Structure 1
Amino acid sequence: MSHTNVDNMEEIYRIGIDVGGTNTDAALLDSKLNTIHTIKVHTTRDVNEGITESIRRLLAESSVNPAQIRYAMLGTTHCTNAIVERKHLGKVGLIRIGAPATTAVPPLADWDDTLKATVCPHAYVVHGGYEYDGRTIVEMDEEEILDCFLKMKGEVEAVAICGVFSPVNTSQEKRVEELAKQVLGADMPVTLSHEIGSIGLLERENASLLNGALLNVIAGVVKGFEEALHTYGIDASLYICQNDGTLMYSEYALRYPILTIACGPTNSIRGAAHLSGLNDALVVDIGGTTTDIGVLMQGFPRQSSAAVEIGGIRTNFRMPDILSIGIGGGTIVRLDETQDQVTVGPDSVGYELLKRGLIFGGDTLTATDVAVKLNRYEWKDAQTEALDESICKRADEIITRDIEEAIDRMKTSSDPVDVILVGGGSILVADKLEGVSRIVRPDHYDAANAIGAALGEVSGETERIYSLDEMSYDEAKEDARSHAIEQAVLAGADRDTVQIVLSEDIPIAYLPGNALLVKVKAAGRL
């Protein structure tokens, strides 16, 4: 029997796992959020194998008692990949409440035909909708709606409902949901657009459809994660990472899988902030395939203000402002001898680096070979003699220049900025970069994504239009704040720790009656 220190008995741990295209990273943190141990394993074709293997090794190498692990967080690219690769998507029926006001642009107008056929066999525009201030444009015709659901019966696995200005007035969407369950059964999953997107109709409709299509995907992910934990005797609360750097309960994720899109880069940004102690900096995360550059503002990732395309579909829910370039540890370096030109990327050997890289006895010159040849990094048993130093130096100049240019594009002024370097590929970067005041490489830099997943705060958010003829400016702000706080508590935050992390309001000149758009985001600890 082992003699455990009595103080240690009370320690509660959390596991963070981040599944990337090349590697699956796992980190174990204690209750003070110190990093106890990290693991990197190759992502396998069946992603759950990589998750199970990383948990097994984490427990074996840290010798922590599984019973003391109370929280488990997963950041995953499953949903992004499903959309980009057009695989495993479910069939969704769409009801848009908006005739005759919105018939000029049909649903799915900008989707390609294969994706339309895969995801949405039934899309109908029915009478109804609201003005920007919540007044009814047209009453709904319930017979018309019931008729649409009868046509869908047996042909869809989920339903998406999207009404004009429904974030301002949610009652029509909720009534259509009741009708859907009446015809299609009480357990038919229904996505209401006002719970997902912001004001813009088409992007919100797209996000709702994709959300419905991803329900099967996320169910498989959560089930695989639960099984992996149970295999090793871990009975923990499960959280899934969202793309704004915060967490949601696994039950919440099962209803809103769309919110997991692009959480990988965000986790790295949060992890970088935690490991470096900086709250405002640029984060350069270099993986096996890409370099993702994000901006840390007050400890959270800067959000993108543009509409975001996922797999070619415009959506408008919150996404981190990330610039990705094709440079990573596995990026291929080529010499064109006829023109005496060196090129770098954008293609990568990915998870085959240890087989194909020259220093590992392979046949492909990669960015990692260049870094080792130029003594940025020591790799034991690396075979560097055969590498041509002049080619490596020229490749290094290109890599450095590309990263400097990308950093410059993400800066908001010409002043030098602090850069936090994370990710396994950060060995590629020189110690000095143009336009950078200092480079911080924190401990555990190569597992920042998994550490970011484990940190997790829980957030809630609201975006609404208020009419200032009906209430004062302060009342509108207060209403939005309390709504955002309630959303955070619903997602699993401890009410006493919830703070407002973002608040902005925009007077909308093109709408009559003193309209004000208010956006508020609140976040708190588990």
Structure 2
Amino acid sequence: MTSYRIGIDVGGTHTDAVLLDENYNVISETKSSTTGDVSSGIYNALRKIVQEANVPVEQINYAMLGTTHCTNAIVERKRLNKVAIIRIGAPATLAIKPLVGVPDDLKDILKKHVYLVHGGHEFDGRLIAELDEEHLYQIANEIKGEVDSVAVTSVFSPVSNVHEARAEEILREVLGEDIAISLSSEIGNVGLLERENATILNASVVDVARTTANGFVNALKKEGIDAKVFFGQNDGTLMSVEYTVKYPILTIACGPTNSLRGAAYLTNKADAIVIDVGGTTTDIGVLNNSFPRQSSLAVEIGGVRTNFRMPDILSVGLGGGTIIRENEDGTVAIGPESVGHRLSEKALIFGGDTITATDIVVALGKAELGDASKVAHLDKTFVEKVYVQMIEMVEEALDKMKTSAEDTPVILVGGGSILIPNKLKGASEVIKPNNFGVANAIGSAISQVSGQIEKIYKMDELGREKTIETAKELARQEAITAGAEPGNLVIVDLEDVPLAYLPGNATRIRVKAAGDLKK
């Protein structure tokens, strides 16, 4: 029996959806406008591809969603959980309180329940102070009924998470199993304030993730589809609904990574630079061995510095809906404002009153779209000047993302990629694959399941090779638990960092294994 899968990716301008067969051939695809509430845009796209494909709904076994819900909630400061913030680290960390550097409007929402508790560890795993369990019981009773989510951060918990684990036990004992608890050791890296911020943001979007997941499952049920549901995470792999609700922050920036994975699949290229042109921005990322290159820097989300895993993506304010203006001194202003999902009513070629980047390429005859006669009046010199500047923006960004002076293959994807020519400075070739407009939804549908572990090992006990093999096996088991096929697992990432300050030749090892979904 044939098995089908659905991939949906929600962008700022469009919600893209595809239906693939078991060999990943595209049976139907659609691009519908992203709606204000996001969810109805998902329903519309879903209904459209299912009706168009005309396949038996009981044969649709998988549904994958790449969503911006959590990012939008943080950026717009809407629909956030009531969070209790608990930092374990007194007396050592009292000088700098939680939420330092968080923008005031967000701080006002999150600062209502902030607690500092005695405890925590040094960078070498030694105790700073005993955990004040009595204080934790007191806090748990105080916040009962007042909050629906708790963020727990302990000093150097990536080295020793004992106090965070005990804090979770106490909170569960008093608050019950339904309360969402985010532990920093499971989310960020070493670096207290950034890890704490990432944990607080994670705790603040748990309900948004849960509502989105339930909405997606219900939308599928409405169409008679009983499929296994997965969400895209920002390393280019998938996670289950339960995992998504526990770690919703991992969905942030999954849109660009879906495009990267889709581009790798459509072109069969494992190493390249991907330029994804949407309605509002152009996102540029790098494929290393078919997966997105990870960022090594602290990343800002909605104005908050965090240090959890993120893809290395450069966003430029240029897309199909970017607004073009001529300044009084004759210079040209390109964006960053965009008409976004209202392109089809605002652009000149569609009878609107705003000059957009799409109007420019149509006026130059580089794309056939809308009514070209509506841009025939535009001054040719002005149009050419704008186009040259647009290409320079992209070439400059491309140059920033390269790690060597050599020309690199470039893959163009996204609905707005009609803006970009098939020759760019710094590119050895520019490839625009079939189905380029919905590469992000394809990336979401074909993504693999991954499992990752990060632990500190004493290399002296088993020796380097055996220790790394043990860690790899654990990562493989994690991936299988998450729903991967055991037969074709690949180790896609391995990092080992010696910890000179710990005895026994201690080394922190991070391994990620990925494989196809279990059929």
TM bucket by the smaller chain? over 0.9
CA distance in 2, matches of 1:406, 1:127: 47
Q: Residue 329 of structure 2 aligns with which residue?
A: 339
Are the counterparts in 2 of residues 198 and 463 from structure 1 also a CA contact under 8 Å? no
Count residues in correspondence. Answer: 516
Are the counterparts in 2 of residues 91 and 120 from structure 1 also a CA contact under 8 Å? no
Q: Residue 227 of structure 2 aligns with which residue?
A: 236
Pick the aligned partner of 1:358 from 348, 351, 359. Answer: 348
Please list every run of 5 or more consecutive structure 2 residues that lacks an aligned counterpart in the other structure.
none
Q: Residue 273 of structure 2 aligns with which residue?
A: 282
Q: Residue 396 of structure 2 aligns with which residue?
A: 405
Q: Residue 428 of structure 1 aligns with which residue?
A: 419
Cα deviations by residue, 1:405-428 (Å, 9 ceiling, x for unpaired): 000000001100100000011001
SS at match of 1:295: strand
Q: Which residues of 2 match residues 12-411 of structure 1 at below 5 A?
A: 12-336=3-327, 338-379=328-369, 381-383=371-373, 384-411=375-402
Are the counterparts in 2 of residues 133 and 467 from structure 1 also a CA contact under 8 Å? no
Superposition TM-score, scaled by structure 2 size: 0.95
Question: Post-superposition shift, 1:511?
Answer: 5.8
CA distance in 1, matches of 2:495, 2:247: 25
Are the counterparts in 2 of residues 499 and 524 from structure 1 also a CA contact under 8 Å? yes
Evaluate the alpha carbon distance shift between residue 426 and residue 181 of structure 1 in structure 2; reply closer, same or farther with a 3 A threshold: same
Cα deviations by residue, 1:341-390 (Å, 9 ceiling, x for unpaired): 22211111111111111111211111101111222211254323223222
Q: Which amino acid is 1:184 matched to?
A: L
Question: Post-superposition shift, 1:491?
Answer: 2.5
Evaluate the alpha carbon distance shift between residue 201 and residue 490 of structure 1 in structure 2; reply closer, same or farther with a 3 A threshold: farther
Please list every run of 5 or more consecutive structure 1 residues that lacks an aligned counterpart in the other structure.
1-9
Question: Post-superposition shift, 1:316?
Answer: 1.3
Evaluate the alpha carbon distance shift between residue 132 and residue 495 of structure 1 in structure 2; reply closer, same or farther with a 3 A threshold: farther
SS at match of 1:31: coil
Superposition TM-score, scaled by structure 1 size: 0.94
CA distance in 1, matches of 2:445, 2:505: 43
SS at match of 1:95: strand
Question: Post-superposition shift, 1:18?
Answer: 0.5
Are the counterparts in 1 of residues 422 and 431 from structure 2 also a CA contact under 8 Å? no
CA distance in 1, matches of 2:340, 2:70: 20
Q: Residue 3 of structure 1 aligns with which residue?
A: none
Evaluate the alpha carbon distance shift between residue 147 and residue 120 of structure 1 in structure 2; reply closer, same or farther with a 3 A threshold: same
SS at match of 2:177: coil
Question: Post-superposition shift, 1:463?
Answer: 2.8
Q: Tell me which moved more, 258-267 or 180-189.
A: 180-189
Q: Which amino acid is 2:325 matched to?
A: R
Q: Does 1:482 align with 2:473?
A: yes
Are the counterparts in 1 of residues 350 and 370 from structure 2 also a CA contact under 8 Å? no
Are the counterparts in 2 of residues 133 and 466 from structure 1 also a CA contact under 8 Å? no
Are the counterparts in 2 of residues 360 and 382 from structure 1 also a CA contact under 8 Å? no
Evaluate the alpha carbon distance shift between residue 310 and residue 71 of structure 1 in structure 2; reply closer, same or farther with a 3 A threshold: same
Q: Which amino acid is 2:349 matched to?
A: I
